[in-house]
Structure 1
Amino acid sequence: MAEVLTQSQIDALLSEMDSPSTKSEDTDEKIAKPEYKKYDFYSPKKFTKDRLKVINGIYDNYTRMAASRVNSVLRANCEMEVVSVEEQRYFEFSNALSDNDIIVLQPLYLPDKSKAPPIVSHMSSGLMLGMIDRLLGGSECDESPVVGYTYTEIEKRLYEKMMQYLLDITGEAWSQYLEISTGNLEFDANMGMFQEVTGESPVVIVLINVKMNEVMGRLTICIPGNLLANVFAVIDKRRESGSYEEGLPDGRKLILEKIRDTELTVKAELGKAMLSLSDICSMRPGDVIDLKKSKDATLTLYVEEQPWFECDLGAYKKHAAVKIDKNIKKEVEGNE
C-alpha cells in the first residue's frame, strides 16, 4: 500500500513549490563561464596593436607640446592625456557629433606624395568656450553648454585661431617617425558635407582628455585608415631598404650647422706617469717627473675626452701650441 503523506508533509511540499530552491541557480553561478571577445569578420581590424602603439607614442608626444603651448598662450595650467587609441568605423565618430559641431580638416603630405583623406579633429564645446573666454581675458566658464551649442561668428573665428595653435605642431609630433608637412586647416560646420571618408571606412580615433584649470573636455582626433596605410607603407619601405634614418635630406649638414657654435673641451696630452703615494707626498717645486717619452714624440689631442688627432708640440706667438699631424678618428673608422 502506498505511503500516505501527513498534512505537515503536504504543507512543506506546497511551500517548496511556491518558492523553488535557488540551489541549482547558485551552482550555475559558481561555474565560471568562459568570456569570448566578439570579432566582426565582416569588418576585420586593419591595424595591429604594435601600430596602434606607434600612434599612441606620437600623440603622447603631441599632448606634451600642445599642453605647453596652451600654457604659454592662455596663461592657464593645462594638462593633456591620451585616453585611448582605437580602430573603429568612421560612422562611430560622425554619429557622436551633432549638426552644430565644428570639425577641423588637416591634410598631411607624405614624402612619397601619396594622396589620402585629411585628419579630422573635434573639440568639445565646453572646453573650447572656456579657452575662448580665457583668450579674451575672462575666467573659464563654470557651466557646460548644452549639447549642440551653436557658435556665434566671433566665436567661430576664435575657434579657428585656437585650433590653429593646437594643430600647428602635428608635423613636429610625427617627425620622430616620419618627416611630413601639413596643409592649411579647413573648418566645416556641417558634418554631413564631409564626404571624403565613408561611414564603413576604418579609422583610428585618438581620445585626449584636456583639463584647463577647472574646465575639462576632450579633443578627438580621427585618422583615416587610408592615410595611416600610406604612412606605415613609407615607414616599412625605409626600414627594408635600410634608409630609414636618411629620411631628412642633407640631415648631416643641417645638424652640423645647428651645433657649429657649440663649445667643446680640447686638450693635448704630454704623457703619463705612475707614481707611488709617498713620491707624490714628497714632491716639491723644481722636481722633475719622467714621462718616459721622447721630447720630439707626437702628442695626442683629445676632444671631449675622445682621441681625435696626433700632433707635434711647438710654440706660436710665444705661447705653447700644437700642430695637428694626423686624424686618429678617420683611421679608426677606416679600419673598422
Structure 2
Amino acid sequence: MPEVLSQSQIDALISSMASGGAAEEKKEEKHYKKYDFYSPKKFTKDKLKMLFGIYENYARLCSSRINSIVRGSSAVEVAAVEEQRYYEFSNALSDNDVITLINVKMPDDTVNGPIVLHTTGPLMLCMIDRMIGGTGEEIEEDISNSYVYTDIEIALYNNIVKYLVSIMADGWMNYLDLKFELEKVETNPSMMQKIGRDETIVIIVLDVEIGSVKGKINICLPGNFLAGVFKIFDDNPERAERDEDSSAEIFENIKGTAMEIKAELGNSVLMLKDVYGLQVGDVINLNKPKDSDVFLYIEGEPWFKGELGKSNKNMAVKINEICEKI
C-alpha cells in the first residue's frame, strides 16, 4: 500500500521542487542540561537556600558597615549562591588579585576553613579612596586585573576586610554560634594551597553599589566547612526546622506594630508672600490631573499607587499596584 503524504510533507515537497533542492525534514533538537557524574553535586537546593538566607542577613549588615566606612550610602544584595569546584573559582583570579583568608571556630571549638573572601578591584579602591577622604567616583572599571596594590593600600585593605569579617558571626547568629577570625590578606592567590583544586565549594556572590561604582564581594565556602555545618543540622533536625521558620516567627511578632500611612494627593511650590495672602476659598494648583494616581507612603517610603474615592462616606484610596520607586 503506498504511503499517504501529510499536507505538511506535500507543502515541503512542492517548496523543494520550486527551489530545485531536495526536501529536508526539519527535526526539533532537544536540549539537555549536562550533568557531571564524576563530580556530582554534594549540596541540595534546600541547603543552598539556607545559605542564601544566611548571607541575605550578612548583606544587610555589610551594607550598614560599608556605609560607616565610606561615609555614604551603599546597596548590597545576594546575586548568586552556586556550587562549584575550587579550581573554577581560582582560575577566575589574576595574579594581581588580593584575597582574604578567614578561619572559622565551630561550636565544638574546632577550627575549620579557611573561608576565602575576594573583593573586585574597583570596589575596593573606591572604599579605600572614600576612607581617606576622596570621592571614590573616578575609579576605572577595567583595572581589576591589572592594578597592583601599593603597601599603603594593602594596609587599608586589611583594615576594611577586618570590618567585613567582624560581622560574619552576626549573619550566622540565627543558625549557629560561629566565630570568624581574619587569618591574613594574601597578595598572591596562587600561593594559597589550603583548599584542594577539586574540592567542592559554594560561592556566595554579593553585588555592591557605592554611588556610581559597582563591584562584587565573592565569598568561597569550602566543602569541609559546610559539611561540618550541615552535619550539625542533620543531627538536630528540629533545630534546622526552627531556624528555617525564624523569619516567619519574627514577622508574626511584629504584625501588631503601628505604622503611619500617608496618601499624597500632589505637591506645589508657593512663594512666602502667596502663602501669607491665602484666604478661605482660594484654590491651590497641585500640578496633577484630577484622576491621576495617589501615592501611599508607609513610614515615609512609597509603597503603593491607587485612586481616590470614598468608603462609607469617608475619603479612601483604592490600591491598584505596588510602587517600588516614584
TM-score computed with the length of structure 2 as normaliser? 0.65
The correspondence for 1:52, drawn from 37, 48, 51, is 48
1:115 deviates by: 4.2
CA contact (8 A) 1:133 1:139 kept: yes
Matches within 5 A, 1:225-304: 225-239=223-237
The correspondence for 1:68, drawn from 23, 40, 64, is 64
CA distance in 1, matches of 2:232, 2:18: 75
CA contact (8 A) 2:98 2:186 kept: yes
The residue identity in structure 1 corresponding to 2:210 is M
CA distance in 2, matches of 1:184, 1:104: 8
CA contact (8 A) 2:106 2:112 kept: no
Q: Give the structure 2 partner of residue 107 of structure 1.
A: 103
The correspondence for 1:40, drawn from 36, 39, 54, is 36
CA distance in 1, matches of 2:153, 2:19: 70
The residue identity in structure 2 corresponding to 1:164 is K
User: Unpaired segments of 5 or more residues in structure 1?
Assistant: 1-12, 247-336
Q: Give the structure 1 partner of residue 126 of structure 2.
A: 130
CA contact (8 A) 2:165 2:182 kept: no
Matches within 5 A, 1:217-228: 217-228=215-226
Q: Secondary structure at the match of 1:118?
A: strand
Q: How well do the aligned residues superpose, as a CA RMSD in angstroms?
A: 2.4
The correspondence for 1:144, drawn from 126, 141, 145, is 141
1:14 deviates by: 10
The residue identity in structure 1 corresponding to 2:162 is Q
Q: Secondary structure at the match of 2:193?
A: coil
1:235 deviates by: 2.1
The residue identity in structure 2 corresponding to 1:185 is E
1:82 and 2:39 matched: no
The correspondence for 1:162, drawn from 150, 160, 169, is 160
Q: Secondary structure at the match of 1:107?
A: strand
1:148 deviates by: 2.9
> Using a 3 Å threshold, how does the CA distance of structure 1 residues 231 and 193 change in structure 2: closer, same or farther?
same
CA distance in 2, matches of 1:116, 1:107: 6
CA contact (8 A) 2:233 2:240 kept: no
The correspondence for 1:216, drawn from 197, 214, 217, is 214
> Using a 3 Å threshold, how does the CA distance of structure 1 residues 245 and 170 change in structure 2: closer, same or farther?
same
CA distance in 1, matches of 2:110, 2:216: 31
1:238 deviates by: 2.9
The residue identity in structure 2 corresponding to 1:24 is E
CA contact (8 A) 1:164 1:185 kept: no
C-alpha deviations, 1:155-211, integer Å up to 9, x for none?
Answer: 000111111112210011011100111123311111122111111100000111100
User: Unpaired segments of 5 or more residues in structure 2?
Assistant: 1-15, 244-326
CA distance in 2, matches of 1:66, 1:163: 11
Runs of 4+ in 1 over 3 A off after TM superposition: 13-17, 242-246
The correspondence for 1:95, drawn from 75, 91, 96, is 91
CA contact (8 A) 2:103 2:111 kept: no
Q: Please identify the structure whose Cα radius of gyration is greater.
A: 1
C-alpha deviations, 1:76-112, integer Å up to 9, x for none?
Answer: 1100111110100000100000111111011111112
Q: Give the structure 2 partner of residue 311 of structure 1.
A: none
> Using a 3 Å threshold, how does the CA distance of structure 1 residues 65 and 158 change in structure 2: closer, same or farther?
same
CA distance in 1, matches of 2:147, 2:224: 32
CA distance in 2, matches of 1:95, 1:68: 31
Q: Secondary structure at the match of 2:218?
A: strand
CA distance in 1, matches of 2:85, 2:45: 17
> Using a 3 Å threshold, how does the CA distance of structure 1 residues 41 and 135 change in structure 2: closer, same or farther?
same
CA contact (8 A) 1:112 1:234 kept: no
Q: Give the structure 1 partner of residue 199 of structure 2.
A: 201
CA distance in 2, matches of 1:128, 1:14: 65
CA distance in 2, matches of 1:211, 1:183: 26
Q: Give the structure 2 partner of residue 171 of structure 1.
A: 169
1:15 deviates by: 8.7
Q: Secondary structure at the match of 2:225?
A: helix
CA distance in 1, matches of 2:165, 2:215: 17
